[in-house]
Amino acid sequence: MPDIRDDRWTFDLVIAWDWEFDHELVLLLKGACATHGLRVLDITVYDLKELLDRILSGKLHINVLLDRASDANLAFMPLQKWALEKGVRVINPYKVSEWAMNKATIHPKLIEAGLYVPNTVILPSYQEKYALEQWYVDEIAKLPRPFVIKPAKGGGGEGVVKSAWTYEQVLWHRQEYAGDLYLVQEKIYPKYRYGWRCWFRAYYIFGNIEISWWDDEILRYRTVSAHDRTDLALWKMEDIMRAIAGISKMDFFSSEIVITQDDRFVVIDYVNDQVDMRPRSRHYDGVPDGIIRKVVENTCRFVGGYVSQLD
């Protein structure tokens, strides 16, 4: 590790992180990048002020920024703003991520791209329109019961009602995040294979696609085998993920995709940023370690390729 007090250093990758469970990912990235001759610096809230002062003063230079902190801790936002102003390559810039993570915004774009998504009624925010016109009532009435209610923004299942039955529930729940649009969606049921729900989490990693079984009810992952890929035609998910990446302009994200009884591949959760990277070897509900390795490998490859273009 270079001495950060040395004014000469340029760091190929700077990782800003604020979640304790990112520690394992950061260690893996630092180790892998070091083997490729890439200089890495990680920034936490404990050294943010000191390092940000050095960066802003031009004493430390950055080529690529991986910001896994500013979404939850605004103290990190000046770092990303500075990076964007100075032309630093930011992985998933805030405004790109904000647009892609808005389900109400990206939903019609996915339809235009020919992807299967749940039948959806998009409601204005409660603050904008607390009383809904009859059209919304009629459209919601067309959805099979039960249906799903979810806010347009946010992730991790926050504010999501997986099984709602009445219009009154819609009126009640859309007040929870009163400033946000809401999606009222058809509930999608996966088919079963080998006793598992055909519900998957797919990862777009700088052009590389990785897929894992993901049970949305027990919140557990399972590694996809070569047989699974062939038997379930999971290669179709690669095309879906590339289409979503083209629409969202994201470098690294995950999506939830379901295979239905009639073998449709339906995108359920469109774009997740700040992807959970806790390894299953250390966390019972963690991501398969093989996917973590792919994330690390492809991040190093991306950073190395970008830096080589600067020489």
The stretch 207-228 carries a mean pLDDT of 96
Q: Which helix (H) or strand (E) holds 201?
A: strand 199-205
The count of other CB atoms within 10 Å of the CB of residue 60 is 22
Can you give the pTM of this predicted structure? 0.94
β-strand 208-215 against 182-186: which pairing, if any? unpaired
pLDDT at residue number 2: 47
Residue 197 has pLDDT above 50, yes or no: yes
Single-letter residue type at 250: M
pLDDT at residue number 6: 47
Residue 33 has pLDDT above 90, yes or no: yes
Q: How far apart are CA 156 and CA 160, in angstroms?
A: 9
Domains and CATH numbers, the chain: 10-91+297-310 (3.40.50), 119-186 (3.30.1490.20), 190-272 (3.30.470.20)
Helices assigned H by DSSP within the chain: 23-35, 48-56, 77-85, 94-101, 103-112, 134-142, 167-173, 226-231, 235-248, 289-310
